[in-house]
Chains A and B, each alone.
Chain A
Amino acid sequence: MQPAYSVIFLTTATGAGYGLLALLGILRAMGGLPDDRAFGLFGLGLAMALISAGLLASAAHLGRPERAWRAFSQWRSSWLSREGVLAVVGYGPAALFAFAWLVLQRNDGLWPLAGLAATVLSIATVYSTAMIYRSLAAIPRWHHPLVTPVYLVLALATGALWLNVVLIPFVDGHALSQAICLAAVAAAWLLKIAYWRAIDGATGQSSAATAIGLGHLGSVRPLDPHHVRDNYLLKEMGFAIARKHAARLRRLTHLTAFLVPLVLVLLQTVTSGPLSLAAASLAAVSVSFGVVIERWLFFAEAQHKVMLYYGAETI
């Protein structure tokens, strides 16, 4: 599949934003965060900026962005529509949460519920994003049970690493935040390794013979080039990455999305002051870069069944 830059930006930015918002909501309800207005402003501000930038970018890949509002109507059947509805609904609890924290400075009575609602809606939105891909049987590497856990845990990991940066000026060495970072990055790493193993070992369910319906005549191969130039299908679904580049980019993902953040957060547990801030910031930048590469590969390595008509043997 052709990697769509606006979609890569959308999923990485909203992933980090919703991960951060989800953590702020639940950790504040548990009383695990500083009550500082400034911290609330930085934390919520960063989360909402990432979410809003991602959502706006998603309109960039539409053919008719002025009609984007129509995408809220088909939540009964479409995961893309559900993602849109949940994203918009999510602004409600997020606004109440911000109001209680930044204006009223309250975290008692029913107020924590606003944060918890923001947490639940954040998780649901990331889940819907993942399900857009997970539900497409035409693309087996997306139609895989590990796709949704990878999206959810990567969102948690990127959100946690950014929370870890914002926390430092207020609480240097927040043990819970560091523990969440380590656990989420390690879990995401294991899930991603399991996903790559699974897709590398998978055998295609469809073949050129089942696609063309000539199974009884043995193998089927294209006779001539089908068109003089690449058409929409070949440009959009036919994008393929050379195996050697995929291997190199996977190594880069292992390094930047997982290994470097783990080492830097571990380093941060034994440092303080500017060194701790530098380690936490580098970890957050590294994981964000790593997830962009991971998302690019998610597209570039995905094979679409239509390519069976263009010479692929099994997909």
Chain B
Amino acid sequence: MTSLPKEAPLKRLGLVIDLDTCVGCHACAVSCKEWNTTGYHAPLPDSDPYGKDVDGVWLNRVHGYETDPELGGRTVYFPRSCLHCEDAPCVTVCPTGASYKRTEDGIVLVDQDICIGCKLCSWACPYGAREFDTDGGVMKKCTLCIDRIYNENLEEVDRQPACVSACPTKARHFGDFNDPASAVSQLTAERGGVELMPELGLKPTNRYLPPRPGATMGDGASLQDAPGADDGFLSWIDRVLSR
């Protein structure tokens, strides 16, 4: 059923991604690909993987940006994946019912056995969260690792999305945004977590934590040609060498 759930989902599962600590290592993207190519959305095929025209389906991609040098100039790494929107346009455009949003936890999924591969959902998503599998003729997207987070065969500590488990700087957090005590809710409140393209009103679930105000050039020890007159031993060396 591609109408959105009438009642708000009981849980709103999603991710918080910390742009302050993300180092752009791509571990989340690689781990996502590794898990999901054998998981719920299997396979995530590649075409010409070792050749010149390598292409393939990725559910998570990492971008690197540079901000205005006049305002401090930061390098920011930005992992991009499905935001599991409350008003998901990718769901309502689906003609077959393959795209749906779960009432119990708000996760947006594609039923691989029903999808006809019309690609309309990928056109409807402004965030580029969906990628087409040309081999299988169906659409792929982030499942929030639905086959991990509820998987009782895994240790409890591993019941979180592969991208979250893999992150070496703990820049990714998973949890329920409906629960004010959850880590994701608290981080969003404390650090002013932002919503992407809020002007579209799609109510994405995931939040991004902006980089903390950082040091700028010149804040640290000033770089001088020579030590000052009262630097003791260094001043003496300076005087000797300057003779």
Contacts and interface: CB of A to CB of B under 8 A. Distances in A.
B210 interface: yes
Contact of B55 (A71, A72, A226, A231): A231
B233 interface: no
A218 B116 CA distance: 42
A79 B124 CA distance: 12
Interface in A122-156: 132, 135-139
Interface string B116-150: 11111011111110011110111100000000000
Centre residue among B114, B128, B132 by max chain A CB count within 10 A: B128
Nearest to A226: B63
B191 to A, nearest CB: 12
Contacts of A65: 116
Interface of A: 1, 61-65, 67-68, 70-74, 76-81, 84, 132, 135-139, 205-206, 208, 210-214, 216-224, 226-233, 236-237, 304-306, 309
14 contacts: A1-B123, A70-B116, A74-B96, A77-B94, A80-B118, A84-B95, A132-B93, A138-B126, A213-B208, A214-B65, A220-B76, A221-B65, A228-B54, A309-B63
Closest 8 CB pairs of A and B: A63-B117, A63-B137, A218-B68, A306-B128, A81-B95, A138-B126, A217-B67, A305-B126
Given A62-B116, A68-B116, 14 more contacts: A64-B115, A71-B118, A74-B94, A80-B93, A80-B118, A137-B89, A206-B197, A212-B76, A212-B208, A213-B195, A217-B67, A217-B211, A222-B63, A305-B126
Interface of B: 1-4, 19, 52-58, 61-68, 70-72, 74-76, 78, 80, 89, 91-98, 114-120, 122-128, 131-134, 136-139, 194-200, 208, 210-211
